[in-house]
């Protein structure tokens, strides 16, 4: 079995004006495409062949940098495309909204903490909303293509929302203005999908 680059469920221009079509196309076909094929190269002929990506990430401390970087890149972008959509934006509802209010005080307080994690992640990386064992929600960030499923992560748990803050995710449209990209992201967050991951 090998890992496959997923198709997006929406067009490359569907997230405009918040994320431009050219960025989406290059990000999906070139960046995510490269992580996927390099992950396949890295696991080919090893005992990781046939394992799920979640199984591989859970034991990442025992694997090569190629598996860590490309396995993270494969998983992180799969999640990223799914938690965004053309009908995104607004606020979460139901159990997820209740949990955010309980663990952060309010939706606005959560957003501020997430924005801060995304803006202050030095260099390349990701900001995350994570469901920890027991159901508590926390915000964290990780360098490069690391994520909270990895056994080496500072903050562990199941990521239910992620924002790519590598320059390749925003530079064509926003250049160095990462905070503008972060603030535009909220207009495309697909809260039903985040809620599905929270419940899962």
What residues make contact with Mn ion under the rule CB under 5 A? 31, 164, 166
CB of 189 to Mn ion, least distance (A): 17
d(CA 88, CA 187): 6
CB of 168 to Mn ion, least distance (A): 5
Q: Which of 112, 121, 172 is nearest to 147 (CA)?
A: 121
Q: How many CB atoms lie within 10 A of CB 26?
A: 15
Cα-Cα-Cα-Cα dihedral sign, residues 138, 81, 146, 142: negative
Q: Where are the alpha helices (DSSP H) in 53-199?
A: 53-58, 65-82, 94-104, 107-120, 171-174, 178-185, 191-199
- Closer CB to Mn ion, residue 164 or residue 193? 164
Crossing angle between the packed helical segments 94-104 and 191-199, to the nearest 10 degrees: 80
Residue 104 tokens, joined: 């952060």
Judged by beta carbon, residue 42 or residue 100, the one nearer Mn ion is: 42
4 or 91: CB nearest Mn ion: 4
Question: Which residue number is nearest to Mn ion in terms of Cβ?
Answer: 164
At its nearest, how many Å lie between Mn ion and the CB of residue 124? 8
Nearer to Mn ion, 110 or 166 (CB): 166
Nearest distance from residue 119's CB to Mn ion, in Å? 17
Instruction: Output 39 or 195, the one with its CB closest to Mn ion.
Output: 39
Closest among 195, 189, 199, 198 to 83, alpha carbons compared: 189
Q: Residue 104 Cβ, how far from Mn ion at the closest point, in Å?
A: 26
| Minimum CB distance to Mn ion, residue 61 (Å) | 23
- The nearer residue to Mn ion, 146 or 164, going by C-beta atoms, is 164
**ω into 17 cis (within 30 of 0):** yes
Give CA–CA dist 102/94, Å, rounded.
Answer: 12
């Amino acid at each position: 079995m090998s890992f496959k680059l997923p198709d997006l469920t929406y067009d490359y221009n569907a997230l405009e004006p918040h994320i431009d079509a050219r960025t989406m196309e290059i990000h999906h076909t070139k960046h995510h495409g490269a992580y996927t094929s390099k992950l396949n190269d890295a696991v080919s002929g090893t005992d990781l062949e046939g394992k799920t990506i979640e199984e591989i990430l859970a034991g990442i401390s025992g694997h090569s940098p190629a598996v860590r970087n490309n396995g993270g890149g494969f998983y992180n972008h799969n999640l990223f495309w799914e938690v965004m959509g053309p009908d995104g934006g607004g606020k979460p509802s139901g159990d997820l909204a209740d949990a955010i209010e309980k663990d952060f005080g309010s939706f606005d307080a959560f957003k501020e903490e997430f924005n801060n994690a995304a803006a202050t992640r030095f260099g390349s990386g990701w900001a995350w909303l994570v469901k920890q064992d027991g159901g508590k929600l926390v915000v964290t960030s990780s360098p490069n293509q690391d994520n909270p499923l990895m056994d080496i992560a500072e903050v562990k748990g199941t990521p239910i929302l992620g924002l790519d803050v590598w320059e390749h995710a925003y530079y064509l449209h926003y250049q160095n203005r990462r905070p503008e990209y972060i603030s535009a992201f909220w207009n495309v967050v697909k809260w039903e999908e985040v809620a599905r991951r929270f419940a899962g």
